[in-house]
């Protein structure tokens, strides 16, 4: 039976953690994810959950402790944002290459500099090639639901990879929304218990984690890791299908909002998608065939599926909430444009940078994006470089 309540995104993540009751959580506070370890440590102090909380001296230590706990056979969790993820950089790669099913609650915030504490995707996008699965939420409900699915994906025998559950800092992490929770027992049955086959403390099975690999072996390990990421695509959909039976809420690689007959589409990640939906509804009332491709899963990157969803469009705006400093646009723009090219999708495309350091994006901004797409498709407008929207000239 659904439990209707109101929660911030951080509270929703903490509630999912309470229901999962992981074994170990090493964490170091950093805005705007600080509330998550605060909530969890309070639950531990109140005897609500049995998780072992490890206060550490840095985010690098947090991920190092997570690696040790996971390698020892414990279901392990951490949370961070921005520079915290950057400080973990070295050991984030170790976690993935060691095939450890750690889950990270990542509250997206821009990387320095200049120093800023607001929403941006430069932290997670900077780690996009680290070997972690990345799943993004538009709102608090999705943050909760994604967290409940994370361990089922990470711990699957065909995967064994760490997972980032991402949400936009402050926009969802601290904003309170209506949310529908599941009861504890169905969640626990869905998530299940963790019984790893191989772990450091297993008697009679000595093993090394993160050893030095000479050239004769290292490439094969990387290939095996890459194959696991490919297999994760199928597992993500299987877990989503089971979750739909439990909750009634459907998830996949993406959400297609009024995209079936769309001539003009916006592609985006995270909280801006709610703004885009409002703009699309207004434009549809005016006869404009506008649609949205909301990306939920960025790693593994389902490029073929994204491209196919956009095949009927005349023009597409690919929106990045980070700047890759490639002089070509953002990472989503680069990867999706390449996928569309390989799939021979002929739509005109433009990569747009928006919302850096928490800059507001309005319904009017999105309506203007669609107006520009109409002009682009009609041959009346060109883009000499990738534009920023909401920029003070």
202-218 pLDDT per residue, tens: 999 988 888 888 999 99
- The pLDDT of residue 207 is 87
The reported pLDDT for the residue numbered 55 is 97
Domain 254-377 has CATH 3.40.50.920: yes
**Distances from the Cα of 346 to the Cα of 157, 374, 384, angstroms:** 39, 15, 19
Tokens matching residue 238: 């299987």
Q: Name the band, by pLDDT with cuts 50, 70 and 90, for residue 228.
A: very high
Write down the pLDDT at residue 306: 98
Question: Over 90: is that where the pLDDT of 113 sits?
Answer: no
Give pLDDT, residue 131.
98
pLDDT confidence tier of residue 367, bands split at 50, 70 and 90: very high
Alpha helices in 248-362, H assignment, sequence order:
272-285, 303-309, 331-342
User: What rounded mean pLDDT belongs to the chain?
Assistant: 97
Distance CA 339, CA 316 (A): 13
Residue 140 reports pLDDT greater than 80 = yes
The segment(s) of the chain belonging to CATH 3.40.50.920 are 254-377
Binning pLDDT at 50, 70 and 90, where does residue 268 land?
very high
Per-residue pLDDT band for 191 (boundaries 50, 70, 90) equals very high
pLDDT score for 24: 98
Q: Please state, for a pLDDT cut of 70, what percent of the chain lies above it.
A: 100
Mean pLDDT of 141-160: 98
Q: What gap in Å lies between CA 144 and CA 329, rounded to an integer?
A: 31
> b/e map of 68-94 (b: 16 or more CB within 10 Å)?
bbbbbbbbbbbbbbbbbbbbbeebbbb
pTM above 0.85, yes or no: yes
| Rounded average pLDDT over 265-286 | 98
Residue 28 has pLDDT above 90, yes or no: yes
In order of 300, 336, 337, the CA distances from 308 in angstroms are 16, 11, 12
CATH architecture of 3-247: 3-Layer(aba) Sandwich (3.40)
Kindly report, as residue ranges, where domains of CATH 3.40.50.970 are found in the chain: 3-247
User: Which is it for the CA torsion 367, 332, 164, 42, positive or negative?
Assistant: negative
Q: How confident is the model at residue 383, as a pLDDT?
A: 85
Whether the per-residue pLDDT at 317 is higher than 90: the answer is yes
Cα–Cα distances (Å) from 114 to 18, 20, 111, 210, in that order, read: 36, 37, 8, 35
Give percent above pLDDT 90 in the chain.
95
Q: Is the pLDDT assigned to residue 351 strictly greater than 90?
A: yes
């Amino acid at each position: 039976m659904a439990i209707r309540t109101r929660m911030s995104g951080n509270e929703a993540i903490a509630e999912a953690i309470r229901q999962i009751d992981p074994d170990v959580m090493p964490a170091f506070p950093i805005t705007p994810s600080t509330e998550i370890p605060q909530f969890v440590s309070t639950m531990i102090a109140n005897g609500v959950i049995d998780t072992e909380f490890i206060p550490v001296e840095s985010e690098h230590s947090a991920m190092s402790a997570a690696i040790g706990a996971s390698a020892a056979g414990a279901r392990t969790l951490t949370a961070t944002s921005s520079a915290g993820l950057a400080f973990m950089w070295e050991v984030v790669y170790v976690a993935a290459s060691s095939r450890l099913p750690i889950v990270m609650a990542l509250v997206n915030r821009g990387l320095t500099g200049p120093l800023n504490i607001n929403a941006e995707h430069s932290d997670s996008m900077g780690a996009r090639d680290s070997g972690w699965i990345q799943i993004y939420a538009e709102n608090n409900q999705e943050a909760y639901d994604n967290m409940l699915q994370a361990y089922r994906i990470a711990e699957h025998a065909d995967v064994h990879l760490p997972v980032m559950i991402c949400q936009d800092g402050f926009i969802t992490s601290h904003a309170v929304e209506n949310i529908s929770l599941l009861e504890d027992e169905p969640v626990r049955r869905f998530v299940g218990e963790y019984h790893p086959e191989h772990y450091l403390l297993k008697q009679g099975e000595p093993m090394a984690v993160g050893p030095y690999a000479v050239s004769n072996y290292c490439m094969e390990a990387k290939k095996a890791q890459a194959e696991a990421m490919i297999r994760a695509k199928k597992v993500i959909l299987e877990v989503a299908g089971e979750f739909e039976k439990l909750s009634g809420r459907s998830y996949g690689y993406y959400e297609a909002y009024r995209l079936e007959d769309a001539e003009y589409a916006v592609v985006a990640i995270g909280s801006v998608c709610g703004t885009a939906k409002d703009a699309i509804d207004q434009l549809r009332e005016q006869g404009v065939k506008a649609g949205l491709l909301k990306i939920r899963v960025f790693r593994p990157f389902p490029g073929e599926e994204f491209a196919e969803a956009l095949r009927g469009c005349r023009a597409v705006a690919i929106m990045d909430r980070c700047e890759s400093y490639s002089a070509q646009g953002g990472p989503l723009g680069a990867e999706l444009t390449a996928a569309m090219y390989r799939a021979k999708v002929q739509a005109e495309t433009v990569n747009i940078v928006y919302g850096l350091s928490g800059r507001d994006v309005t319904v009017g901004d999105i309506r203007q994006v669609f107006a520009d797409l109409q002009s682009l498709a009609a041959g009346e407008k060109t883009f000499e470089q990738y534009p920023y929207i909401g920029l003070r000239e």
